[in-house]
Amino acid sequence: MSVDAFTTAADLRAAFRRGLSRPTAGLAPGAVQANLIAVPRDWAFEMLLFAQRNPRACPVLDVTEPGDPATVLAPGADLRADLPLYRVWRGGTLHRETPDATTEWRDDLVAFLIGCSFTFEGGLAAAGIEVRHIAAGSNVPMYLTGRECRSAGRLRGNLVVSMRPIAADRVADAVRISGRFPAVHGAPVHVGDPSGLGIRDLGRPDFGDPVEVRAGEVPVFWACGVTPQAAIMASGVPFAITHAPGHMFVTDVPDREYET
Amino acid sequence: MSVDAFTTAADLRAAFRRGLSRPTAGLAPGAVQANLIAVPRDWAFEMLLFAQRNPRACPVLDVTEPGDPATVLAPGADLRADLPLYRVWRGGTLHRETPDATTEWRDDLVAFLIGCSFTFEGGLAAAGIEVRHIAAGSNVPMYLTGRECRSAGRLRGNLVVSMRPIAADRVADAVRISGRFPAVHGAPVHVGDPSGLGIRDLGRPDFGDPVEVRAGEVPVFWACGVTPQAAIMASGVPFAITHAPGHMFVTDVPDREYET
């Protein structure tokens, strides 16, 4: 099936379940998208605490029962198969990427669904602010920063951010619009100078694709739900299944549910 | 030492540590107050998940390391002794109340500090809205409702609310002002008719003291941080230490930190 901006969230999930694999920015506009991080029950308290202590990066939208791949955010969806691309982690290292994580899923996995900044991109576009990676048909650029998150038990790691170039005279609007969505990262954590976040080269993101920053534009950085993946790596979590960066879980929840 | 509205948060905690025991509404104005709920590490994930699933009733301000009575909300404070009155729970039943929980504290206790609606009472008063229980020098009335919380593993229970009578022409202002503080319960969950919450008699609160509802006033109900205590009872949690209702932990954090 071909997928475009008019495909519904449920149809998108069905297409992903059948094997379609692509980034989700710009798809199913109006539907909240979410990061996935599933860890063994033994690590669940620390993951939830890490999220609570780093709410800008890890706004929790739902937590599943151990082993259960169902979520209130999309009744009938199967978290093991309905994302376009997964990452399987062993001992804090990326083991493999797969479009279907059903065979790797475990009975003791607790899945966390975490807000994604794609959710407010519709609001930016509606205000006439170009979202560069959507216009370019690429994945959003993401960077591992030098900024340490607040640790939680065995879990520690640095903040990951997404970046969108914004025209200087629209930065205030982008702040205001995204700030209305605190449950999906909210307002930017940093505006301008990438070196302030310890980012050396905007042209070489740690996740996703680079985008052009044009004259008159400022790089604007939002806290990113890939942050738990950085924590998995830094903390050597023995086993985890996550989405692949930019390949999100598309929920049935309308954006406006999270607008304050 | 005598305590009045001019006593600082740190002086109040010191007085409570020395044995003073009284409700904290109206004290240390401008300082955030918090509910305490400490459960064994084995129950910590479910308590944090219960809070995440019931954010209106259980907005988490901090979670401690297991056994550690320290919190970032008030450096130097001792959560075992710095509250005016504690409740010790065994097998889901109130075992005893005590002004000092030091001897009962355990190495595996994880303490949750949860936002308290006393925090926005200063805002109500500043807008000329009388807070009846402060004017009366009594504890706020709280009621166990018939409304079930979303459960989390073994933890379940009904919503507890606090009630303030508000003049009909100030209800909108009370909603607006408290709504600016989502981290301390935010806007009311219910305005008017107590029977809609399953409350039979406003004159007989389940916790705290009754207050007068005058002609022209409407009872306004806010989600309350005593909700986890109702869950301890309903779920038979084997051991817990909490604050006594209305006898809060007074932090060093200014109210405005939680104002959006």
At B38-56, the pLDDT tens digits run: 999 999 999 999 999 999 9
* B174/B247 same-domain check: no
Q: How far apart are CA A152 and CA A65, in angstroms?
A: 21
Is residue A125 situated within a structural domain? no
Give the SS3 label for residue A258.
Answer: helix
User: Which backbone phi and psi does B54 adopt, to 5 degrees?
Assistant: -130, 60
Contacts of B109 in chain A (CB under 8 A): none
* Domain tally, chain B: 2
* Residue B225 to residues A40, A107, B61, B154, B179, Cα–Cα distance (Å): 29, 33, 11, 19, 16
Q: Does B195 reach chain A within 8 Å, measured CB to CB?
A: no
* A65/A154 same-domain check: no
- Domain span at residue B54? 9-115+233-255
Is residue B106 situated within a structural domain? yes
**What CATH number does the domain containing A156 carry?**
3.30.2040.10
Q: Does A193 reach chain B within 8 Å, measured CB to CB?
A: no
Shortest CA distance to A119 belongs to which of A188, A191, A186, A36?
Answer: A186
Contacts of B65 in chain A (CB under 8 A): 153
Shortest CA distance to B143 belongs to which of B210, B213, B87?
Answer: B210
Shortest alpha-carbon distance between residue B244 and chain A (Å):
25
Q: Does A22 reach chain B within 8 Å, measured CB to CB?
A: no
* B176/B144 same-domain check: yes
- With beta carbons less than 8 A apart as the criterion, state whether B143 and B205 touch: yes
- With beta carbons less than 8 A apart as the criterion, state whether B198 and B160 touch: no
* B83/B150 same-domain check: no
* B153/B211 same-domain check: yes
pLDDT value of position B26:
87
Find the radius of gyration of the CA atoms of chain B.
17
Is residue A205 situated within a structural domain? yes
Q: How far apart are CA B89 and CA B40, in angstroms?
A: 12
At position A111, the amino acid (one-letter code) is A
* B30/B110 same-domain check: yes
β-partners of residue A110 are A39
CB contact under 8 A, A60 and B52: yes
Q: Which of residues 225-254 of A touch B (CB under 8 A)?
A: none
Is residue B43 situated within a structural domain? yes
- With beta carbons less than 8 A apart as the criterion, state whether B233 and B227 touch: no
- With beta carbons less than 8 A apart as the criterion, state whether A110 and A42 touch: no
**What CATH number does the domain containing A83 carry?**
3.40.1640.10
Q: Is A251's pLDDT higher than 70?
A: yes
Shortest alpha-carbon distance between residue B156 and chain A (Å):
14
Shortest CA distance to B120 belongs to which of B211, B204, B59?
Answer: B59
**Average of per-residue pLDDT values in chain B:** 94
Is residue B2 situated within a structural domain? no
* A57/A98 same-domain check: yes
pLDDT digits (tens, 9 = 90+) for B2-30: 677 678 999 999 999 999 999 998 899 89
Question: Taking residues A224-237, what's their average pLDDT?
Answer: 96
CB contact under 8 A, B52 and A53: no
Q: Is B260's pLDDT higher than 80?
A: no
Is residue A55 situated within a structural domain? yes
pLDDT value of position B5:
67
pLDDT digits (tens, 9 = 90+) for B182-212: 888 999 999 999 999 999 999 999 999 999 9
* A54/A79 same-domain check: yes
Is residue A32 situated within a structural domain? yes
Q: Is B1's pLDDT higher than 70?
A: no
Question: Taking residues A67-92, what's their average pLDDT?
Answer: 97
* A134/A110 same-domain check: no
Predicted-assembly ipTM surpassing the 0.85 threshold: no
- With beta carbons less than 8 A apart as the criterion, state whether B117 and B179 touch: no
* B133/B194 same-domain check: yes
Q: Is A236's pLDDT higher than 90?
A: yes
Identify from B43, B47, B52 which residue to disrupt to test chain A contact, counting A C-beta atoms within 10 A and taking the largest count: B52
In this structure, the number of other CB atoms found within 10 A of the CB of residue B84 comes to 25
* B214/B240 same-domain check: no
Cα pseudo-dihedral B246, B247, B252, B254, rounded to 10: 10
* B141/B179 same-domain check: yes
Is residue A91 situated within a structural domain? yes
Q: How far apart are CA B260 and CA B253, in angstroms?
A: 15
Find the radius of gyration of the CA atoms of chain A.
17
